[in-house]
Amino acid sequence: MKGTYLGEFEEVVLLTVAMLGNLAYGITVKEEVETRTKREINLSAVHATLYRLEKKGFLNSELGEATKLRGGKRKRIFNITPYGVKSLKEAKSLREGIWSSIPEYVLQ
């Protein structure tokens, strides 16, 4: 997994971006992560993570259209890259391998 390692919060954010598709921008990612984790998340933490994942090559982004609702501001839409998909698959495989190696009596 060298080179594609994700921290827990990075993995959750990356999974959320993949799930949201073209609706993945700061606020929607924050709201979905909060709903799924049942934790309150700081928007700046989400933005920092999105930009960090983009810098690592797991995400790319583009500016959406300006809207009157946003006062003419454009929102940055994030999308998962093939490298991001690869890293998620590797993380899933690693976790599944560990889970399947736990003796059944431990989990009872």
Q: What Rg, from alpha-carbon coordinates, does the chain have?
A: 16
The pLDDT value recorded for residue 74 is 78
> Is residue 105, in this structure, part of any structural domain at all?
no
Cross-strand pairs, 62: 77
Q: What one-character DSSP code corresponds to residue 106?
A: G
- Please list the residues that pair with 79 across neighbouring strands: 60
Helix (H), strand (E) at residue 62: strand 59-63
Q: For residue 104, tell me if it sits in a domain.
A: no
Residue 30 belongs to domain with CATH number: 1.10.10.10
Q: How many CB atoms lie within 10 A of CB 66?
A: 12
Q: How many domains does the chain have?
A: 1
Residue 102 lies in a domain: no
Which amino acid, 74? R
- The pLDDT tens digits of the residues spanning 77-87 come to 999 999 999 99
Domain assignment of residue 42, given as a range: 8-95
Rounded to two decimals, what is the model's pTM? 0.86
- Assigned domain for 108 exists: no
Looking at residue 1, its pLDDT comes to: 45
Residue 57 to residue 108: CA distance in whole angstroms? 40
